[in-house]
Amino acid sequence: MKIGLVQMVSTAQVATNLVVADRLVREAAAQGAELVVLPENFGLLGHNESDKVRVAEPAGGGPMQEMLATVAATAGVWVVGGTVPLQSDEPDRVTNSCLVYSPQGRMVCRYDKIHLFVLDNESGRFDESRTVAPGHSPAWFDLPASDGHVWRVGLSVCYDLRFPELYRALAVAGADLLLVPSAFTHGTGEKHWDVLLRARAIENLAWVGAPAQGGLHENGRRTWGHSLVVDPWGEVVARLPVGEGVIVMQMDAGQTRRRRAELPALGHRVL
């Protein structure tokens, strides 16, 4: 199966970002991708954390969700909308939700980001919990690909990457592809991005696809970029350093089976 990862440098204007996201999804589809994944906050990277509350959409409706459904159906691909801010039960907080659309334009899976980012150092101050309500459950979906394999795709978002127990739960549930749409800060990305993604692939003998925000945003924030595809042996097989664009990469389901047979570590768990 070919996967397409979309890297963006999102702005504070939803309409502008949706035009870019639509174009890049179609570009990946034109290169043969069956599954196209957008980064975290593809629809908005605002001037303030509260901006996401202002543009939050009700589940099932709104410009961001409508774009995802339309491009999936018209391009005939599976689309994962990295994250969309959805209204929660709390008026001052949203869920940071990863939404999956089938090639028929139907929303088939939703994952609400569980682990909320907190950082206070030279890279900046962040406390996602001030405006985001956490999710509580892992999520995955099955994708019957043209290669004859039904890929089980596990969902996660950005800061989740630091919590290996989530990925182990996805692997135990049968996931052979783990997605990590992200908006890593430049400072943490430079030190930790590659090693964490490679570790999650190695630990779970699974493919990892991580589309990212990558560049200097109009709000002054600088994101790391370096969207990656990592194979089940931990090798980085595709990378887009900075700036908007797409990666399209062929993934081999047989490689996952071979590696798990060679090194049956998942069956050796004790805890």
Which residue in 98, 113, 128, 244 is the catalytic one?
113
Cα–Cα distances in angstroms (integers) from residue 119 to residues 48, 79, 126, 158, 239, in the given order: 16, 30, 5, 13, 26
CA torsion 10-129-186-163 (nearest 10°) is -120
Query: Which ranges in 31-118 belong to alpha helices (H)?
Result: 51-54, 63-75
**Tokens of residue 189, six digits:** 């990305």
Q: Residue 248, SS3? A: strand
Which residue in 40, 57, 128, 244 is the catalytic one?
40
**Tokens of residue 214, six digits:** 């990558």
Report which secondary-structure segment, H or E, holds 135.
none
- For residue 98, indicate whether it is catalytic: no
- For residue 113, indicate whether it is catalytic: yes
CA torsion 68-72-73-78 (nearest 10°) is -140
Which residue in 2, 52, 57, 158 is the catalytic one?
158
Active-site amino acid positions: 40, 113, 158
